[in-house]
Amino acid sequence: MALTQTWVLQGTSPTTLEATDLLQFCDGTFDNPITVSAYNGSTHVRSSIGADDSTGNTPNNVKFISQTGGGDSDSQADWGDGTEDIDAILEAECTLKLTVAFDSNITVTDITMYGYDGTTTTDAPVGLDLFLAELADTVFTNADGSASALTITDSDTPATSHDFFILASASPSAVGVKDANKIRVEFTYQ
C-alpha cells in the first residue's frame, strides 16, 4: 500500500515528469534562454540526457504578465489567447497537473508548493523568480522559498485520486542556466 504522485506538463497530450526530468522554462524554443527579467515563452520537459520529452505534445505555456493589472486587481497571464486575468484559465490550460493517488480513499490537505535553491528549502531559487497559482486563484504567488509558498486548496473528501492544477511561470534575474533550483510540494494525507 503506497502513495503515488504524478506530475504532468499539460498540453495537447500530457508529458509525465519522471524523477530525473527537468521542467524547463524557455523563450519559446526548447533549450533557448529567456532574456533576464522577461518571462517564459514556452515550457518543456527536459530529460536527463537533454532531450525534449514534450516535443510532440504541444505543451501548455502560461506566461506571467502582471501581478495586479487585471480586473479587480487580478493577476494577468498569457496562455495562448493574449493577456487575461488568471481566474479565467481552464483546467486543461494550466501548466501542471499533480495527481496524488492511493489504493484506498484518502484525503489530501495542508498542501503547499514553492521553489527553492535546491539545498535549503527556506532559501529562494537562485537567479530566477517563480510565480505559481492554483486553478481559480485570482493572483499569482511569488513562491520563492518555503515561507512564500503557494497554498493549494484542501482535497478533503476521501477518494483514491486527487488532482491539482497549477499555473507556473518563471523569470531569470541573472544570466545562466538555473537548473540547481527545485520545486517542492508538501502535503498531508490520511
Partner 1 sequence: MELKETQIKWIIGLSNGETIKENEGIASSGQEFSPWWSLQNYIKENDLKITSLYLAKGNKHFNLPSIKPKFKGDTPIGYNCLTRVATDSLVGSSANDEYYRCAEAIYKDFKVQLYVDELDDNKAWVNIVRIE
Q: Report which of 98, 94, 97 is spatially closest to residue 108, judged by C-alpha positions.
A: 98
- Shorter beta-carbon distance to partner 1: residue 102 or 140: 102
Closest approach, Cβ 161 to partner 1, in A, equals 13
Name which of 12 and 188 has its Cβ closer to partner 1: 188
How many CB atoms are closer than 10 A to CB 107?
15
Q: Is 118 in the site for partner 1 (CB under 8 A)?
A: yes
Which residue, 90, 29, 83, is CA-closest to 55? 29
Among candidate residues 116, 114, 118, the one with its CA nearest the CA of residue 151? 114
* CB 120, min distance to partner 1, A: 10
Among 41, 138, 142, 184, binds partner 1 (CB under 8 A): 184
Contacts of 70 (CB under 8 A, 6+ apart): 76, 84, 85, 86
Pick one of 12, 105, 122, 173: the residue that binds partner 1 (CB under 8 A).
Answer: 105
| Binding site residues, partner 1, CB under 8 A | 1-7, 17-23, 96, 102-107, 110, 118, 121, 158, 181-190
